[in-house]
Amino acid sequence: MKNPDVNTLIQLLGLIGVAASLVFVGVELRQSQQIAIAGQVQARNQAFLDLYTTTMGEDPIGRSLIADGYLTPDSDPTDLIEIEYDVWNAIKFWQVMSLQNAFQQYEMGLLPETVWEQVNSRIQGQYANCYIRPIFLTTVVPSMDAYLQTLSQDCGIGTLE
């Protein structure tokens, strides 16, 4: 058996060093992605808190809509007066845009599967309400529109006009 020469040992150590560097870079990339995901989750949660803080603040209309259950996916806005409907519609528009944001993050791989399951459930609940569906149909990006077409088109609440 012959002993490896110095050049072979140096090449082997260099190869081990390159492999270790690649593993380190991979760990750093994974950590960076986790930080980005955490930042996105925090931003979404803060946006929800800001919305509800605003609606519960000085404006009694937002507070009454929350108290009366009009912000749930199964709400029926037909008995709201015009100003209440305008606030309801603005809040529902914000909710749809927030769901679209989460959908796009999921498409880009920035949303963990467990969070997507929750978002997907919310999308389905809101989309099943045909009082809310027109907001989806007029505001979403094409990829989300294609996704919405895979959902049940039946109305759980209201009717399409």
pLDDT digits (tens, 9 = 90+) for 131-143: 999 999 988 889 9
DSSP result, 63-76: HHHHHTTTTSTT--
- Return the H-helix or E-strand segment holding 69: none
Residue 144 pLDDT grade (very low, low, confident, very high; cuts 50, 70, 90): very high
Angle at 155 between CA 152 and CA 156, to 5 degrees: 100
Amino acid at 92: K
Token reading at 50: 């800001």
pLDDT tens digit sequence for 2-17: 677 888 888 888 889 8
Phi (first) and psi of residue 43, to 5 degrees? -65, -40
129 - beta bridge partners? 157
Query: Could you say which DSSP state residue 5 is in?
Result: P
Specify the pLDDT at position 67: 78
Residue 161 pLDDT grade (very low, low, confident, very high; cuts 50, 70, 90): low
Do 155 and 124 form a contact (C-beta atoms < 8 A)? no
In the chain the beta strands, taken as DSSP E runs, fall at none
Which residues, 6 or more positions from 96, have their beta carbon under 8 angstroms from its beta carbon? 126, 132, 135, 136, 139, 140
Q: Tokens 């949303």 sit at which residue? A: 111
